[in-house]
Structure formats: structure tokens, C-alpha cells
Structure 1
Amino acid sequence: MKRFLILLSLAFLSTSSVFADNLKSKIMPLKDRAEIQNRLFKDRVSTVLPKIMERTGIDMWIIIAREYNEDPVIRTMLPSTWLNARRRTILVIYNPGNGKNLETYAIARYDVGEVFKKMWDPEKEPDQYLALSKLIKELNPKKIGINQSEYFAQADGLTATEYNLFKSSLTRAQFRRVVSAEKLAIGWLETRSGLEMEYYPAICNIAHQIIREGFSSNVISPGKTTTDDVVWWYRERIIELGLTTWFHPTVDLQRSNNAEFNFLSAFSKSKESNVIQRGDLLHVDFGITYLGLNTDTQQHAYVLKVEESDAPAELQNALAVGNQLQDILTEQFVIGRTGNEILLDALNNAKSVGIKPQIYTHPIGYYGHGSGPTIGMWDKQQGVPINGDYPLYKNTAYSIELNAKVYIKSWEKEVAIMLEEDAFFDGEKCEYMDPRQTKLILIK
């Protein structure tokens, strides 16, 4: 066993050297990334946020968090070199209307990055919340939005303690103007800017390249390598490239045996004992975080038998069915339609052409499972209450996640073609940010 582990470690090292130069050259140094992330944020404040505030009718947005207990929204607004909030961080965004620029303030001892300007002098007013109350009085907003939401977690970042302190600092007249900023927070998180979309396709391409690296003979030796070995290779590769991930990858397999496909096992119980053999159909669920944006991808590979030069036609056709289901789903993307409407029509259309579908698509961007319309969940194929009733807006991104079960005659059973690709909806069409998988990855 010890000798095997040493050999495995050496194999991983040699694999890294094979791939390193090509992909590493595409990854920016941390300093460059930080500068780009700050530029992306500044651009969003001027191009995205005013429209969302106008749409929701909230002219003041207050975001409050403390160090290590950050609101999900405030994480997207801090300078790239701030890994956390500092002490208590209070950000105030005010829309004066009439086409004027947003006013952005920090009730803090110092500016918060280049966007939020210091508006608190503790020597003159020691109470941070009273300083906030005075700013509210000065600006006199009509609606004050705070991050509270029963159903959308990323719009529910205000803690009970901070809410109570905030409430006690306001006059009755001020408090009557306080409303939930749920739709404002969702809109901010789900909307992608034009500048972000100059970078996002390349991020998806990097994720695709890493998947192909792992699904290759440089990493996988049939009869020796386990699915868990490949999972940890992906984790190590992400670190080696200076990237991060927002979830632990999974790698599972289906093969010509009596085992029936189990959805839960595929995604949460992949075992080390799954030694990869020739003739296996492999599946990976993988994502990275880069420049503050996330990817979420599922693809398939086939391990060639010694006498084979291509995957069996039945498996290739099964992948084509999965692609057909993707097309059926993305054709349903129309501004104003809810996630549930998109889901149910896509399922009905798929079934009408003989496909056995499951759809569980979600928004993606600042968070892997982002805010916006939920388009099915694997265990809620009749629709998702509340989150599935949220409408589709333009300039939003989605992980087109689904599966189609296809009968493979030579295997005498169904296989699940589980696909996930990141796409952007511009208001007219939903297109993949980097070309989707249309052919099985082949492992020799």
C-alpha cells in the first residue's frame, strides 16, 4: 500500500508538469486579479445598480455586517483586498433620482475601497448607528431597503442583533420607510454587467480545460485509478493553478452491469472502491471560482476498450439526447417567464418527443447556486414554490443543469446523461458562455 501511494503521488506530480505551462499561462497573478475585480465592481455600481434600484423603487439600500459574519451581498461589494468586513461595516447606497449618479457612503472610520466614502467621525459622534440615522435624516429617502428575506438566503444577510440596533437608532418616521430589499439584492446578485461578460467566457473555458485534463490517460489508468483519486486530482489541480472552488467535485461512473443508476449516490456517495475500468462511462461535477465569478459544469467521458477507437454509438446517441434536452430548455427562456413556467413547459416538450427528463437549473455568478429564478430541483419536478415563481430578467447567467435517462440496449439498462453548462441570457437568447459538450471525452 505504501509503495502504491508513493507511485500515485509521483504520477500526480508528473501529470502536473504535463499540463502546467499551457493552462497556468492563462491564469493572472493575484495582483492583476484584484485590480480587475475592483474595476468590475466600480463598473457595476454605475451600470447595473442604478437600474435595479429604479426597478425596485428603493432609493436607499443599507447593508450591515460584522467581521467574519458577512452578509452575502456585502461580500460582493468589499474591495478585493478585504478578505472580510472590518469591525462593523455599514454601507449606504442612495439614489437621488433624476438621472444623477448614485451616492455611496460608509459609516466607518475610513473609506471602503474606492467606491464607499467615509461618513462617520467617531470623535464627533461615538455611536455608529446614530451616525447612520443622521445620514438618513439628511438624505431623506422614500424607501430604505434592508436585507431581510424568508425565501432567498442571499438576500437575508442582516442579523437579528444588527436589525435590533438599527431599528432602535431610527425615529418612528424613519422606520416606517424601511422595507425588505429582497428583490434589489436578488437583482444585484443575478445581473451580469457587459464588462463581466468580457471575462466570464474565459473563466468557463478554464474550467472546461481542467475537466479534460482530469479525464485523460495522464491521470486515469484503467484498472488502477479510482473515481476518488480523480476527485482529489481535481482539487490539487485547482490549488496548483492558484484558483479556488466553491464545492468539492464528484466523479462517478456507470457501466455495463446490473447496478441501477442512483442519483443520490452519484452526487454524494462516490466511493473509493469505484476503480475505473475500460468501457466505463464517467461523469464529473466540477466548478471553479475566478475573478469573483463561479462556474458549475458536468460532463461525461468514456474509457475506451483496448480494441475501440471511439465510444459505442449508443452512448454517443445518448449524449445527443442530453443535448436535445438542453435545447428544449433554453428555448423556453423568455423575459418575464417564471422559473416554474420554464420548467414545466420544457419537461412537457421533452416528454412529447420521447425524452425522460429531469431539470434542476439554477442562476450562477457571484455564487455558484446564485439568486434568481430556480428552474426545478432534482426532487421537485412539479415546480418550486416561491423561488420558482421569480421571473426571468435579461443579462443573467444560469447553470443549465439536467439529465436525460436513455436506454442502452447493449447494456440492457438505462444510463443517465447528466449535463451542466454555464449560459448567459441576454434578453433574447440563452447561449453557452463556452461551447458545451457535444462529444464524449475519450480516455485511452
Structure 2
Amino acid sequence: MHQRKLINDDCSVKPITGFISGLIMAVSLSLLVSVTAKASDNHSSIDNIAADLVLSVKQQAVRQDELLQQRLDTVLPGLMARENIDMWLIISREYNEDPILKTLLPADWLNARRRTMLVFIREKAEDNRVLTLSLGRYDVGEFYQNVWDMEKYANQYQALTALIEKYQVKTIAVNESINVGLADGLVATDKSLLLENLDNIYKQRVISAEPLAVSWLETRTSDEIDIYRKLVGLTKALINDAFSTKVIRVGQTETKDLVWWLRQQVRDLGLQTWFQPSVSIQRKDIADKSQVIKHGDLLHVDFGISYLRLNTDIQQHAYVLQPEEDNAPQGLRLALKQGNQLQTLLTDNFKVGIDGNTLLKMTRAKAIEAGLKPTIYSHPIGPFGHNAGTSIGMWDNQKFLKGSGEWPLHANTAYAIELNVTTPIPEWQRDIRIMLEEDAWFDGDKVEYLYPRQETLILVK
């Protein structure tokens, strides 16, 4: 792709003879070899970083199942006890899955099959041990004991009712939520069938699983954090190469070329993106809307990748040096420091139990007092890029966010610290926005970036 951009159509001239023809052919071949070598070098550096992280498909499946088993054993029991839920019931049909079901299936189950029921029962007498059961036509891996006796019960709902009666559960939590889409996966048909088959006494025990569902999605284990560190490192390595002359030919490369370069790199590594990357330009001449990258441009990227049910979300800036420059203008460098200042003001306010709306209000007040023009829109990350948990503002709502903004911070949760500051650039005689997004985790005491945050502009020389 890049070779076609680097060698212009003008190189394909009409045939000529003699020395000039040979010279043109030699130059063209030299350019082709040069570009191919650069692409090879680029692949080598990225591949070296990825080698420590990306496993074969088979090994990924093994690791994914290990992580799921760990979460079922060590995370779920405590969460069910904290939210005082006796039974968590998840019902999904093939290709119409509850999003949470995807986080609970073994690696070799890509979807639900027919109607899949997963049932989690807290055994209080057994130190809050959780039974992991299924009711379905097929066994769901080794994680769930299939308890549907098809000779005894004609359908799954009859078997489910018998299971509820056997354990005399006080609460039956299902994934219904007005405010959290990821916790609202029970479809109307299955809700109706469930209630039709329950006795009145048990109908009254059906409650929303929202607190448990959100907690399950937001809680990260130490093993997941270890993977996250490497995954964020790989994300940033790809950004660094995209914002370099390995990829950019100043005056020729367009922003869309970088977008598709990133997409291709991720595909070549055997990974996926969870959203279309974006690359944008701010420049001194505000009237110049060209998407061709030029000297003096401030570049911005928003990019994330997915691996082992974890998602990154990163935004960074680069500056394309003028031929006579060896650094970005001081105004741009100071603007980035203001972005870092806003990050610190936000993360210093993290405290277990504080909700996102309070955190937003506190941080904005301190930032404005410090002379900043802040906009904060940070969110949880995990099995979904825009994960369930504590949201801290939205780009179009800097006051009060119902639902996710009211959710309190918990320990062992991960976030995309996403925000921007508007600041004047004296050299450009105009305002710009520094838009940053860094992945971090909160251990209950402090916020730690999963990989060092950007504190200096990437320079395209």
C-alpha cells in the first residue's frame, strides 16, 4: 500500500531508450528496495515487542480459560456476597447474546448455542462458595455442571424452576438495567418465559443483577493487569511507529493512510481493534483543512486493540518538525504539560466509594482554579472498551451523569483517563486542544498508569 503511494504514477513514463531508461529503472528499483526495507524494519521492531505478549491461537485459548477459571474462583464469590445475591441467572440464545455471557464462556465457545442458561448459586454455608451450573442441550466446557435432566424435565425452564426450589434462593438476579446497557442483556422473550414458569413466591424474588453485573465487568485480577501492561505497551509502540518517517512522508501521507496502516498492523499481528482508529490534524493555519500531513502539524491519534478479552484505549499527540526545527514550539510543549496537570488533578482525587459525578465536580473545580480549561470524559476499560463501572463525565456532559456517573469507585478497577484542555498557542495565535487518553488501574489506594503516560510530544523528524 505504501509503496504505491511512495512511487508516484509519474514514474511510469513512456518507454525511452539507452542510458536514461536504465537510470530511471535503477532509481525506481532503489526506491522500491528502500521502502520495502523500511517496512521490514518496522515489522521487525513491532514483532519483537509483540513476541512477549501475543500467543498462538491455541495458547490464547488456554490462557483465556485460565483467566476465566481464576475469576470464577476468586472474584465472583466475593462480589455475590458483597451484593447479597443468592442466584445470578444469565439466559441467552444463539447470536442474540447477553454481552456479559461473552465474558463467561470458555474460549472454544464463540457464541451461545440454542438457548444457553448459566446459573451461579452462592452457598453461604460453604464460605460463600459459588456453584457454577448450566442448563442446556450442550455442556458448556469444564466450567459449568450441566444439571438439566432431559428425561425428567421437558424443557429448560422446568429444570430451572426445580433448581430454584432445591436451593430455596432468596434472590434471583437477572441482567436488567435502565442505566447500564451492558447489564441489560436479558431479552423480553426470555424474561416472559421465566416469569411464566416461576411460582408466585419466586417471581417476587426476581431482582436486577445490575450491581453484580457491573462489578463483574469492572473488577480486574492481578494476572489481567500484568497482561494489560504489555498490551498498552504494544498499543503505544504501534502509535510511535505510525507517527514516524517509517510511515509518514511529509507532504504526501494523509491521515487516513495512518488509520489504515494501524488497522493493517493489528491484523498482521493476529489481533483486533474494537473501534476504527482516528488521526486528526491541528495546525497554525486554521483555514487549511487538508488532511495531507505537513511540516508544523500537530497530530492526534485515538487507537485501541483487543486481546484476551481486554481492550486498550489510547490518545496521543505528535508534532511534525519544520526543516529548521529540532523541537516543537514552546506553546505546544506547555500545552501538553497542562494536559498532564489535568490528569494528575483527576487521578489524585480517586478514592474508594467516591462516585464519578463527585469526582468530576471536584476535579473540574480544582482545574479551573488552576487556570485550566478542562473537559473530562474518563471511563472504565476491561472486557469492553467502554466498560461498565464508574464514568467520570462525558465530552458533552460536564455536570451530572445518571447511572454510571453515580457508581462508586472500587479497588482493582481499570480506566481510560480521557480528557482534554483548551489552551492558547502564542506562536500560532490561536487556541488548540490537547486530547489525551491513558490507561490506568486503581488498586484502592492510588492510580497507576499501565504504561508510562505521554509527557513529551512525539517528534516526526
Tell me the distance in 2 between the aligned counterparts of 1:107 and 1:14: 56
Identify which range, 53-62 or 310-319, moves more after superposition.
310-319
CA deviation profile, 1:1-59 (whole Å, cap 9, x unmatched): 99955849979866542222333323211111111111111101111111111111111
- Seen in structure 2, the aligned counterparts of structure 1 residues 78 and 60 have a Cα distance that, compared at 3 Å, is same
Match of 1:275 in 2: 292
Match of 2:385 in 1: 368
Within 5 A, what are the aligned runs for 1:7-406? 7=7, 16-24=39-47, 25-26=51-52, 27-98=54-125, 99-259=127-287, 273-406=290-423
- Seen in structure 2, the aligned counterparts of structure 1 residues 6 and 314 have a Cα distance that, compared at 3 Å, is closer
Question: Runs of 5+ in structure 1 lacking a partner?
Answer: 261-270
CA deviation profile, 1:292-314 (whole Å, cap 9, x unmatched): 10000000001111111221222
The number of aligned residues is 433
> Whose Rg is larger?
2
Which amino acid letter does the alignment assign opposite residue 70 of structure 1? E
Say which of 426, 429, 434 aligns to 2:443: 426
Q: Do the aligned residues in 1 keep the contact of 2:373 with 2:423 (CA within 8 Å)? A: yes
| RMSD (CA atoms) | 2.0
CA deviation profile, 1:347-393 (whole Å, cap 9, x unmatched): 01001011110000001101000101110000101121232111111
Query: What is the aligned-residue identity percentage?
Result: 47
Which amino acid letter does the alignment assign opposite residue 375 of structure 2? Q
Tell me the distance in 2 between the aligned counterparts of 1:383 and 1:330: 19
Which amino acid letter does the alignment assign opposite residue 67 of structure 2? L
Which amino acid letter does the alignment assign opposite residue 72 of structure 1? P
Tell me the distance in 1 between the aligned counterparts of 2:8 and 2:270: 22
- Seen in structure 2, the aligned counterparts of structure 1 residues 130 and 18 have a Cα distance that, compared at 3 Å, is same
- 4+ runs deviating over 4 angstroms: 1-16
Secondary structure (helix, strand or coil) at the match of 1:95 reads strand
Q: Do the aligned residues in 1 keep the contact of 2:157 with 2:194 (CA within 8 Å)? A: yes
Match of 2:22 in 1: none
Q: Provide the TM-score with structure 2 as the length reference.
A: 0.90
CA deviation profile, 1:205-237 (whole Å, cap 9, x unmatched): 111111111111011111000011111111111
Tell me the distance in 1 between the aligned counterparts of 2:245 and 2:457: 15
Q: Do the aligned residues in 1 keep the contact of 2:39 with 2:246 (CA within 8 Å)? A: no
Identify which range, 91-100 or 411-420, moves more after superposition.
91-100
Tell me the distance in 2 between the aligned counterparts of 1:426 and 1:201: 14
Tell me the distance in 2 between the aligned counterparts of 1:57 and 1:212: 47
Tell me the distance in 1 between the aligned counterparts of 2:382 and 2:36: 32
CA deviation profile, 1:138-184 (whole Å, cap 9, x unmatched): 11111110000011000000000111111111111111111000010
Q: Do the aligned residues in 2 keep the contact of 1:110 with 1:117 (CA within 8 Å)? A: no
Q: Provide the TM-score with structure 1 as the length reference.
A: 0.94
